[in-house]
Copies of this chain bind each other. A is one copy, B any other.
Amino acid sequence: MIPFNRPHLTGKELPNIQDAVATGKLSGNGKYTQLCHRYFQERYGFRHCLLTHSCTGALEMAALLLDIREGDEVIMPAFTFVSTSNAFVLRGARIVFADSRPDHPNMDESSLEHLITDRTRAIVVVHYGGAAVDMRAVMALAEKHGLLVVEDAAQAIDAWFKPEGARAAPLGGIGHLAAFSFHETKNIIAGEGGMLVVNDERFVARSEIIWEKGTNRSAFFRGQIDKYGWVDVGSSFLPSEVTAAFLYAQLMELEGIQARRIAIWQAYDERLSALQHRGWFTTPTLPAAATNNAHVYYLLCRDLETRTRLIQGLKEAGIMAVFHYQGLHRSPFYADRHDGRLLPHCDAYSDRLVRLPLFADLSLQEVERICATIEQLMG
């Protein structure tokens, strides 16, 4: 049996947790939380980082920081996870879904300007599979219309936006705010976990307050005020030190984990690209300015029937391959609220995309077995 995902462990998670336990500080914002914050700030130059209990939590912090209100409109792709939209729906936003690009599941940057109205407040970009949305186009559009940009970088750790003739920028470091995930299916994991990145200075002070349940406790512990209290809305977004200690063990091995995943990704791509001419599927292409962080390896099948046959055939061979998002514009919850626009590219990815097993402990022999099975099934 080859599962779709198996959490990779570096071996330092338990010693770190043991150390956290020994310090006697297990609730949030202790030593390991600080170490994780510093790691991200130093490696990627993020302005301000706050670990959260989930990427969902980080997106909710973003919606609170943007002060989203009833009736505000937020533009985001329909081909995304429910949390991208829920976080803004919880604040009363109306979601305006954008279609995907014809050549990639990312949202079509050229379609966005038509969706902007005088109620639009923000654009949420999702870097599908860690592949960069054209952030130059999105940031220019946002500036032109006075909008704020949130990067849903759930899958985008250690990925860059590298436009020709400009400096590479890490995903999550470009929008006004960004959210990362450390869910067990991600490259770097903490079981459940996430992080808010604040790149715009205007949001730094309030982000700490919202993180700490609407109190100015962070400023209190830095000695900036002599008593703390309820000063704003907020929630308990902090993960425990147990979670942070686990995450820090993973971060210490980030480069090795990434190298391993990229090798697997390339092995898939080399072997399966050679089968494209048969016409059953195509292998992924990266947007022009995107790097590959090997978060996902997917095939785009000719049609839904082909995908169903492929998933079923792999399953019978003990290999778990899975489809991905069902377009949110057609979900039971939002179909009636959606403005009715057709989003054909999104629908195509919903129907035709299949993800193959990809985790750091997957061997190249297993990759070969998977590819050979696909070759046989799609003969």
Q: Does A200 sit within 8 A of B, measured CB to CB?
A: no
The residues of B that contact A185 with a CB separation of less than 8 Å are: 27
A70 contact set on B, CB distance < 8 A: 70
The answer to the question of A263 belonging to the interface, with a C-beta cut-off of 8 Å to chain B, is: no
Cβ A86 vs Cβ B235 within 8 A: yes
**Chain B residues within 8 Å of A77, by CB:** none
> Which residues of A21-61 are within 8 A (CB) of B?
21, 24-28, 53-57, 60
Residue from B27, B90, B326 within 8 A of A191 (CB atoms):
B27
Interface string of A177-195 (1 = CB under 8 A from B): 0000001110001111100
Q: Does any Cβ of B come within 8 Å of A220's Cβ?
A: no
Are the C-beta atoms of A213 and B26 separated by less than 8 Å?
no
Within A67-81, the residues touching B (CB, 8 Å) are 70, 81
Does B231 lie within 8 Å of A331, measured CB to CB? Answer: yes
The answer to whether A191 touches B54 (Cβ under 8 A) is no
Find out whether the CB atom of A214 lies under 8 angstroms from the CB atom of B86.
Answer: yes
Which chain B residues border A89 with CB–CB below 8 Å?
Answer: 233
Interface centre among A28, A190, A229 (most CB of B within 10 A): A229
Residues of B within 8 A of A85 (CB): 230
A82–B233 Cα distance when bound, in Å, is 9
Interface of A is mostly: loop
A7 at interface (Cβ–Cβ under 8 A)? yes
Binds B, one of A116-124, A126-134, A155-163, A237-245: A237-245
Q: In whole angstroms, how far apart are the Cα atoms of A134 and B214 in the complex?
A: 30
Assembly CA distance A250 to B82 (angstroms): 33
Q: Once bound together, how far apart are the Cα atoms of A24 and B357, in whole Å?
A: 15
How many Å from the CB of A67 to the closest CB on chain B? 13
How far is B67's CA from A120's CA once the two chains are assembled, in angstroms? Answer: 26
Q: How far apart sit A92 and B54, CA to CA, in the bound complex (Å)? A: 24
Seed contacts A26-B184, A28-B192, A90-B90; 19 additional CB < 8 Å A-B pairs: A3-B24, A7-B24, A27-B184, A27-B185, A53-B57, A60-B235, A82-B213, A82-B214, A83-B235, A86-B235, A90-B233, A90-B235, A191-B240, A191-B242, A192-B240, A214-B333, A227-B326, A230-B332, A232-B333
The 5 tightest CB contacts between A and B, nearest first, are A191-B240, A56-B236, A230-B331, A26-B191, A192-B240
